Amino acid sequence: MSKTAFDAALIVRWMTVSAAAVDREAGRLTELDAAIGDADHGSNMQRGFTAVVKALETEPPATPGAVLITAGRQLISTVGGASGPLYGTLLRRSGKGLGEAPQVTAEELRAGLQAGVEAVARLGGAAPGDKTMLDALAPGVEALAVSFDAAAEAAERGALATVPMLARKGRASYLGERSIGHQDPGATSSALLFAALAEVAK
Amino acid sequence: MSAANEPVAGGAGLVGIVLVSHSGPVAESVAELAVGLAGGGAEAPIAAAGGTPDGGFGTSAELIAEAARRVDRGAGVALLADLGSAVLTVKALIAEGDELPGSAQLVDAPFVEGAVAAVVTASAGADLTAVAAAAEEAYGYRKE
C-alpha cells in the first residue's frame, strides 16, 4: 500500500478533482439516471460538489478529517436528492473516523472510508448486489488494502457490474425487471470518487 | 403561503411536527388537512418542509432544519417524511447531531395518516414517544 501521507491539502485536492470529474461526467450521470431514476443525479452531484469546493476554498479546514466533514455537510445541505445524505454521510463519517490528526496514512484513510461505507449501508439499508452506490463503494474500499489504483479499478468494475442487476433500493426499485440492463448512476459516481482518489494519491 | 406553513398559534410545551415531502404543496396541504381533521383541539405547532427552496421537487436540509426550529417548544419535534431522499436527509440531519433540535425524531409512519394521528395526539398534550407511537400505529389501519 502507498506510503503517501495525506494532509488536509491532499484531501482538498481529492475533493476538487472529484468535483471536476462530476462536472465532466454530469451529463452521463443524468443520462444513466434518466433510464432508471428521476434524471437529476448529474445536476444534483454537480450542485453538491460545487458547494463543496466553494466551502473548502472559503474556509480551508486544517485536518484531513475536517475537510471530509465539511464536504459531507455541504453535500447533505445542497444536493436535494438521495445522493446528498448518502454521499454526505460517506464523507462525514469517514472524516470523523480520521479524528483530528494533521496527517493520516493510507491505511488510516482506508479505515476511515471503511467506516463511511458502513454508515452509508446502514443509512440506506442497502447491501452490495442491490444496484446502488454500494456496489462500487464496497469493492473499492476493500481493494484500498492493495493500492489506490486497485481501488479505482475495483470501483469501476463494481459500477459496470450493476448493469445486469435488479434494483432493490430507491426509485429504480419501483421499475422491477425494467431496471435490469442499466448501469446504476450512484455506483457510477462512486467510481468517479475512487478514480479521483487514485489520481491524487500518486 | 398557506397557513400550514406557519406554526399554529400557541403550542407552548407541545410536541412540534414537521412534514417533509418532495413537494412543497404536498407538505403544506397535508399539514392543512391534519390540522383540519384534528378539529378545534389542534394546537400543536406544525410546519411544512416540502420541495427545494426554489420551489422544485426534492428535499432541502435547510428547509427541514428551519421548520424543526420553528415548531420546537421544548417538548420534542416529530418529523414525518414521504419518500427516499426526504427520509434519508432527515436521518442524516439527526446523525449530524447539531442541525436539528436535540429531541428531534424521525417517525416511521405513513405520511398522510401519520400526520393526522401525530397532530391529534400532540394537540392533546402527549409527549414525543406517544406522538410517534400514534403516528406509527397508522400503518396498522388496513384498507381492505
Each residue's pLDDT tens digit, A115-145: 999 999 999 999 999 999 999 999 999 999 9
pLDDT digits (tens, 9 = 90+) for A65-110: 999 999 999 999 999 999 999 999 999 999 999 999 999 999 999 9
Helix (H, G, I), strand (E, B) or coil at A139: helix
Q: A–B: how many Cβ contacts below 8 A?
A: 49
Collapsing DSSP to helix, strand or coil, B83 comes out as coil
pLDDT digits (tens, 9 = 90+) for A149-170: 999 999 999 999 999 999 999 8
What pLDDT is recorded for position B6? 54
Q: Say whether pLDDT at B135 is over 70.
A: yes
CA–CA dist A71, A172 (Å, integer): 27
Q: Write the burial class of residue A12 (CB in 10 Å: 0-12 exposed, 13-18 middle, 19+ buried).
A: buried
Give φ, ψ of A105 to 5 degrees. -80, 170
What are A97's three cell numbers?
473516523
Residue B4 reports pLDDT greater than 50: no
Count of other CB atoms within 10 angstroms of residue A70: 22
The reported pTM is 0.91
- The band of B56, judged by pLDDT with boundaries at 50, 70 and 90, is very high
| ipTM metric | 0.87
B91 vs A contacts (CB less than 8 Å): 85, 123
Chain B: closest CA distance from residue A150 (Å): 30
pLDDT of residue B1: 38
A97 CB within 8 Å of a chain B CB: no
β-partners of residue B132 are none
- Locate all alpha helices (DSSP H) within B58-101, ordered by sequence: 61-71, 84-96
Residue B11 pLDDT class (50, 70, 90 cuts): confident
Q: Which residue of B has its CA nearest to A121?
A: B88
Name every chain B residue with its beta carbon within 8 A of the beta carbon of A40: 58
Is residue A77 less than 8 Å (CB to CB) from chain B? yes
pLDDT tens digits, B27-51:
999 999 999 998 876 689 999 999 9
Interface contact A41, partner B, CB < 8 A: no
Q: DSSP readout, B42-59?
A: --S-EEEEES-TTS-SS-
User: How are strands ordered across the β-sheet holding B16-21?
Assistant: B46-50, B16-21, B77-81, B104-106
Are the CB atoms for A175 and A30 separated by under 8 Å? Answer: no
Closest residue in A to B85 (Cα) is: A82
Q: Considering chain A, what percentage of its residues have pLDDT values greater than 70? A: 99
Looking at every residue in chain A, the average pLDDT score rounds to: 96
CB B56 to CB A73 under 8 A?
A: no
Q: Which residue of A lies nearest to B50 if distances are taken between CA atoms? A: A80
Residue among B52, B62, B91 whose CB faces A123 most closely: B91
Q: Quick check: A41 and A32 in contact, CB under 8 A?
A: yes
Rounded to whole angstroms, the Cα distance separating B34 from B135 reads 12
pLDDT score of B2: 41
| pLDDT at position B98 | 83
Q: Touching check for A175 and chain B: CB below 8 Å? A: no
